[in-house]
Chain A
Amino acid sequence: MSIELQNLTKSYNSAYALRNINYHFIAGNTTVLIGPSGCGKSTLIRVIMGLIMPDTGSAKINGELLKSHNILQLRKIMGYVIQDGGLFPHLSTEDNVSIMAKYLGWSEEKINERILELSVLTKFPVDGLKRFPSELSGGQKQRVGLMRALMLDPKFLLLDEPLGALDPLIRFELQADLKGIFKLLKKTVVMVTHDMNEAAYFGDSIVLMKDGKIVQTGSIKDFVEKPKCDFVEKFINAQRSLHDFK
């Protein structure tokens, strides 16, 4: 249940988005990809989802080499959550969550059971299931996005800045809920963020990227105690703590 990346390179119009990326995501862990804008973290998660094909190198998902012919198959074992939830505006909450299950021919009973289970897990109010995305709050949209990603009970969960667009109070609450869910489900989680505090809060391992390359990997402790270079040190120190103002 791991993800292995080998020599991944991807460039757009001769500018590198990814340069020779090698990394092994450990099964059952939460790994956080972090770095400044344009460092390649979002490109990397899209390559893993098969949304972008790398120029060279390979990604192995669950031991299987990701190719165009098995993308659809592999996506069923990968749940994907993006900023704002990426919900389809023409479908109600329950239809958004169950679209793939319906396509795969699940029975109505099984679908309803699973939706109920997920709404409890994600603390989404059951009476909101019939609503449309435009009638939901930002936090609720994100919970629905998570429900949709978890619907088929995937082995992997990939999140691209899932909390980026939320206001601080809701963000705080969702962070705690998300962490609880990760711990409970024990899935292999890859999460992209630009916030070091969030990375520290979630990450069993942290991968810091810059200019398409991995600069340093390890636990938050490794980063704080043994920064590899000036850039890492700067990146960590760029976080303000309210304690500074006491």
Chain B
Amino acid sequence: MGYKFKIFAVILLVFCSVFPQERYPVKIGSKKFTESVIIGEIATGLGKKVDKNVEHLEELGGTRVLWDALVKGDIDIYPEYTGTIKQEVFSGKISSDNELFNSFEKLNIKISGSLGFNDTYAIGMKRKLAKKLNIDKISDLKEHPELRIGFSNEFMDRKDGWHGLRRAYNLPQKNVRGLDHDLAYRGLESGDIDLIDIYSTDAEIEYYNLKVLKDNKHFFPDYKAVFLYRADLEKKAPGTLRQILKLENSITEASMIKMNEEVKIGGKSESQVASEFIKNKFGEIGDFERQTFFDRLFENTKQHLFLVSVSLLAAILISIPLGIIAFRKKKFGNIILSVVGIIQTIPSLALLVFMIPLLGIGSWPAILALFLYSLLPIVRNTYSGLQDIPENLRESASAIGLPDRAKLRLIELPLASRSILSGIKTSAVINVGTATLGALIGAGGYGQPILTGIRLDNISLILAGAVPAALLALMVQGIFDLFERIIVPKGLRIKSN
């Protein structure tokens, strides 16, 4: 007894010591702006030299999403900025570096040394306008309350963002809008806004000929680029970690701006730029897989279909019984209908982000959110389909002596089938569209190229996600129209013709 098991255990031990820790596939995260993705790609390229399974979960969203994912262990490492850590992650409650390290220690998080450049927040405007209004530093803005401001959504809410800035400089501007950082440059160019927040390493500063206003009161702290990583990485994948941390003190501000420019303005892919950086800096040829357009499309389609089909199937399995219960038990039914109705009113982006603390990042939180969204149309259509069965038919079904279950199966559900199916169809189409947001929390799908396309101002990339998503929605509709012929009984279809 146990003899075979012992041999197995010994083999396993030997195996583990021959291939130590590096069997752990490190997951690298990045935020949804170009610089973060480039650093993520460089780290991935370096990491892959040790372990081919290193994975880059790119464009995951904002600071909150990445930080939560790191603490939860959904990712192992991601590039961050020191100012952001103090102001945003710890809400400005931490003053000394000592306190910061203590907080990290409690959460088993470690911080690398600076990667070599500072990417601070700054306020920018068109050079021409600045000259005309004679604006040189941020305090000059006080004289111009009429200026229209478009700040990135994250900047609007950050402690070190607009609120703090306004207080520090006592700024009078009222016309302040929040928008996507990458769209802000376009707003500036088209003249819809006059002032935006910028990162000091943004390639667009040169490209759009912007004036960076002097922070004469030194409001913005340092934003030195660093890596945050899980402490257990030192045991699980020391080789990969060592390789990634080679980046400490190796990216200058000038080279970061250049890389940003190559991607955002030169149109190169992040992985290409990352690979060139590794080659120049470390003299190593980067190990990057080149994906063709169709590889990507296939991958995105696979992910999108996975999100949609799993969430929809689960929603169908839960919603139809819920609809039946709502129909049978009126009081409880009202509660069910209200709850699924309330879920529907939660904005989809918010619902996605709510899921992160529960399920982390990736496909499952997106599937749960999509599932919740798909409930209402199916529950309501099941309920109303059953409710709309004429009284005389319900009475006839009872009068012939069928018990409740048989009545439901043989009479009520077939009579409600058209309504139920159209609820499912509505859910499916909404689901295909909403699933594009899944990319924000690392679920992939057609949202991925859309997200990248918005970031890089690349219409063809946006279309590469939007067109297949629209086609899929049409296809889903077509499939359900076909289903209708199979599922809705012939007698009901004759009537409607």
Contacts and interface: CB of A to CB of B under 8 A. Distances in A.
Q: Judge: A and B partners, yes or no.
A: yes
Interface of A: 46, 49, 51, 72, 75-76, 78, 80, 82-84, 86-92, 99-100, 103, 132-135, 148
Interface stretch (B100-108, B183-191, B192-200, B401-409): B401-409
Contacts of A86: 392-393, 395-396, 399
Contact of A89 (B395, B398, B402, B495): B495
A134 B401 contact: no
Contacts of B396: 80, 82, 86-88
B340 to A, nearest CB: 27
A15 B301 CA distance: 63
B402 A134 contact: no
A88 B490 contact: no
A90 B414 contact: yes
8 closest A-B pairs by beta carbon, nearest first, are A86-B396, A75-B401, A90-B489, A132-B491, A80-B399, A90-B491, A134-B495, A90-B414
B111 interface: no
B27 to A, nearest CB: 52
Contact of A90 (B392, B402, B403, B415): B415
Interface in B453-497: 489-492, 494-495
Given A75-B399, A134-B491, 18 more contacts: A49-B399, A72-B401, A72-B403, A75-B401, A82-B399, A86-B395, A86-B396, A88-B415, A88-B491, A89-B491, A89-B492, A90-B417, A91-B489, A103-B410, A132-B491, A132-B494, A132-B495, A135-B494
24 contacts: A51-B398, A75-B401, A76-B401, A78-B399, A80-B396, A82-B395, A82-B396, A86-B392, A86-B396, A87-B396, A88-B397, A88-B411, A88-B415, A89-B415, A89-B491, A89-B495, A90-B417, A90-B489, A91-B489, A92-B491, A99-B400, A99-B402, A100-B400, A103-B402
B361 to A, nearest CB: 46
Contacts of A91: 489, 491
Contacts of B400: 75, 80, 99-100, 148
Contact of A82 (B392, B410, B417, B495): B392
Given A75-B401, A86-B393, A99-B400, A134 B494 contact: yes
A84 B494 contact: no
A111 B490 CA distance: 22
Nearest to B496: A134
B407 to A, nearest CB: 10
A204 B491 CA distance: 39
Nearest to B492: A90
Interface centre among A72, A92, A148, by most chain B C-beta atoms within 10 angstroms, is A72
A183 to B, nearest CB: 24
Contacts of B402: 99-100, 103
Interface of B: 392-393, 395-403, 406, 410-411, 414-415, 417, 489-492, 494-495
A84 B396 CA distance: 11
Nearest to B395: A51
A118 to B, nearest CB: 14
Contacts of A88: 393, 396-397, 411, 415, 491
A49 B492 CA distance: 28
Contact of A99 (B393, B410, B490): B410
A75 B406 CA distance: 15
Nearest to B497: A134
A80 B395 CA distance: 10
Contacts of B398: 51, 75
Contact of B491 (A72, A83, A84, A133): A133
Nearest to A104: B401
A103 B395 CA distance: 18
Contacts of B401: 72, 75-76, 100
A26 B157 CA distance: 84
Contacts of B410: 99, 103
Contacts of A90: 414-415, 417, 489-492
Contacts of B399: 49, 51, 75, 78, 80, 82, 86
Contacts of B415: 88-90
A8 B401 CA distance: 23
A74 B199 CA distance: 81
A135 B494 CA distance: 8
Contacts of B411: 88
Nearest to B406: A103
A87 B492 CA distance: 12
A171 B489 CA distance: 31
Contacts of A103: 402, 406, 410
Nearest to B415: A90
Contacts of A51: 395, 398-399
Nearest to B495: A134
A92 B494 CA distance: 11
Nearest to B410: A99
A87 B393 CA distance: 7
A210 B182 CA distance: 80
Nearest to A102: B410
B386 to A, nearest CB: 14
Contacts of B489: 90-91
